Structure 1
Amino acid sequence: MKYRKKPVVVEAVQFNPSYSKNWKECHDFIGGFSGERNFIDETWREKNRSERIPCVSTDDGIKQLTNKDYIVKDGFGNFHICKPDVFEKMYEVVEG
């Protein structure tokens, strides 16, 4: 049998650490620092406080973001990290 993935509309934001405003945009998109779903930076497990380490809590655990990764929020409110090349193949803009 063959199957086709149904078209799904998701929300997403691209992480770009070069722009300080983007940190806030990502933080706000995830919903801040409260609860299970959060955007963690300087306090990431007390690891290296001199370095900002952006991470997102996903169903697969806490994932570290790298430059240009997309944070994707699916229809169920779950967050996923997607590499830019994969994201651009899977999604197209439906509204700005």
Structure 2
Amino acid sequence: MNNRIRLLILKKFEKDYLNLSIGLKYNTYFELFIAIMLSAKSSDIQVNRVTKKLFLKVSNSTDILKLGLNKLKNIIRTIGLFNKKTIFIM
């Protein structure tokens, strides 16, 4: 592959992928971090449903610790692998 072809490929990627956005809804980097952790093996739609409820109760890591393992688990129960994800978040 020569430089001209490489440049054409890079320009195509830049045109097609430069302004991508993610489907996860968040307001802070903390919320984005939690949403990304929950998104493994789950759809963005399902994660957004769960985080909408979760972020009414927590806004930082201290809030999550105060919420506790069982309450967090009950909130994210509808997401796949929720048991492991609860442990990772805690």
TM-score class, shorter-chain normalisation, is: under 0.3
**Which structure has the bigger radius of gyration?**
2
TM-score (norm 1): 0.24
TM-score (norm 2): 0.24
